[in-house]
Amino acid sequence: MQEGLIVKALSGYYYVKPLRDGKVSGEETAIQCRARGIFKKRGESPLVGDRVMYSLTENGEGTVDEILPRSSQLIRPPVANAGLAVLLFSVKEPDMNLLLLDKFLVHIEHAGLDAIILITKQDLAGQGDATAARVQELYESVGYEVFITSSIEGIGTEKVKERLAGEISVFSGQSGVGKSSLLNAIKPGLTLETSEISMRLGRGRHTTRHVELIELDNGGFVADTPGFSQLDFLELGVEELSVCFREFASYASQCKFRGCSHTHEPGCRVLVAKESGDIADSRYRHYLEFLEEMKDKKRRY
């Protein structure tokens, strides 16, 4: 058996690139493999990003025999061993949506991944439009890395590529924000399909149909994943939500009551921090919206 990395899953086949000394060589061709029946009996399934043991068959294809231990696992998108989530939100077309950005960040924090925020389409910002700068200032104060980019003008793309070196990264964001355009800029010659923005709907068509790892020339891999139209909180407990707002942590530990919801309790340090401006109004407002959404879902289910 040989060790390999699953770089694509499509129609019941897994495309595995051989690993040499724990690394993928760009010169290696992916081997089309089927998974052994034992995985189905166990209720397991190989995922893109999995390091696996595989064996070659007589017809030049292969069989996935063993899934090696995972460092992380995402359900949606189904990717294993990702260490970095790259969240893309555009200045315009579609307009910046901080509510959706915060929802993504909650899910990423819950999954235990690092996250960076890419503000795309800076070329569409008009003179005096400080949207990108304001968003950058807000989220850097929370503790996130923020990059302002433009695929058309080449702004920020090299810095982003350097940040992705050696990582399996998951690109996610609203449809039409320019994920494919940015990947094409990071890896010239990739020619991923891009979509025009529907001006009537204010969003793009989904251009990515399956999960696939795109190999960069610096040891990094990017999972180009389908855009999300919605995210729900069914897998997240109400008591876990505040933990996913990282700026709450230092204040929450000082709250008078254990299990404080940070909404009305006396002695809540999070509320004090919000009132003093140490926690941004928009972030706290979104926390309350998510809390209400989660309670509504729990009542329905």
Query: Binding site membership for Zn(2+): which residues?
Result: 255, 260, 262, 268
Please give the annotated binding residues for GTP, written as ranges.
120-123, 173-181
Dihedrals φ, ψ of 256, to 5°? -65, -40
Rounded Cα–Cα distance for residues 178 and 34 (Å): 33
Please give the annotated binding residues, written as ranges.
120-123, 173-181, 255, 260, 262, 268
